[in-house]
Amino acid sequence: MHSLMINGNTHQVDVEDDMPLLWVLRDELGKTGTKYGCGIGQCGACTVLVNGEAVRSCNFPVVAAEDKEIITIEGLGNNHPVQQAWIEEQVPQCGYCQTGQIMATTALLFKDLDPSEKEIEDKITNLCRCGTYVRIKKAIQRSAELIENQKG
């Protein structure tokens, strides 16, 4: 039995130690906003926050997530500044990768509200097959502005 703190709630899950967090979220807890794309940490569709760090949950064993604060896309609610920026810039096409892109951006901006273009390119490495990168870049910058404004 593993005890997981996800989006502020505690969940007990009876799964193997090596089961990736991704599949616990999706298949055991019904949190399907986190996506499967590759299973080897290459594409980033499964990105969640673990203690504030962007983690690719497809190769992150559940045992390593115990006693840590996990935030999934569902935990951002529906009006988070990064989500607002994504809507303003009309980023998603098919949308499958976007929850991962949003989580990766949230982690990046959590650490640095004024990332350089190079930093954005180095840190946001999630794949988007529809090719929305032009808008992702704009939306990251817009997200930073919105977070800054929110701080007032």
69-71 vs 9-13, strand pairing mode: unpaired
* 38, 47, 102, 125 from 42: Cα distances, Å: 6, 11, 16, 9
Which of 7, 11, 36, 59 is the binder for another protein (CB under 8 A)? 36
Nearer Cβ to another protein (32/68): 32
Nearer Cβ to another protein (131/152): 131
Q: Which residue's entry shows tokens 């807890």?
A: 29
Q: Comparing C-alpha atoms, which of 94, 99, 85 is closest to residue 135?
A: 85
Q: Comparing C-alpha atoms, which of 143, 137, 114 is closest to residue 125?
A: 137
Determine, following the binding rule CB under 8 A, whether residue 7 of this chain makes contact with another protein.
no
Q: Yes or no: say if 76 and 82 are a contact pair by the CB < 8 Å rule.
A: yes
Give least dist CB 147 to another protein, A. 15
Determine, following the binding rule CB under 8 A, whether residue 40 of this chain makes contact with another protein.
yes
Determine, following the binding rule CB under 8 A, whether residue 8 of this chain makes contact with another protein.
no
Stretch that binds another protein, among 3-11, 49-57, 67-75, 144-152 (CB under 8 A): 67-75
Which of 9, 131, 151, 152 is the binder for another protein (CB under 8 A)? 131
Residues 71-100 as x/- pattern, contact with another protein by CB under 8 A? -xxx-xxx----x--xx--xxxxxxxxxx-
DSSP 20-76: BHHHIIIIIS--TTS--S-SSSSS-TTEEEETTEEEEGGGSBHHHHTTSEEE-GGGG
Task: Enumerate binding residues for another protein (CB under 8 A).
Answer: 16, 19-20, 23, 26-28, 30-40, 42-43, 45, 72-74, 76-78, 83, 86-87, 90-99, 102, 120-122, 124-137
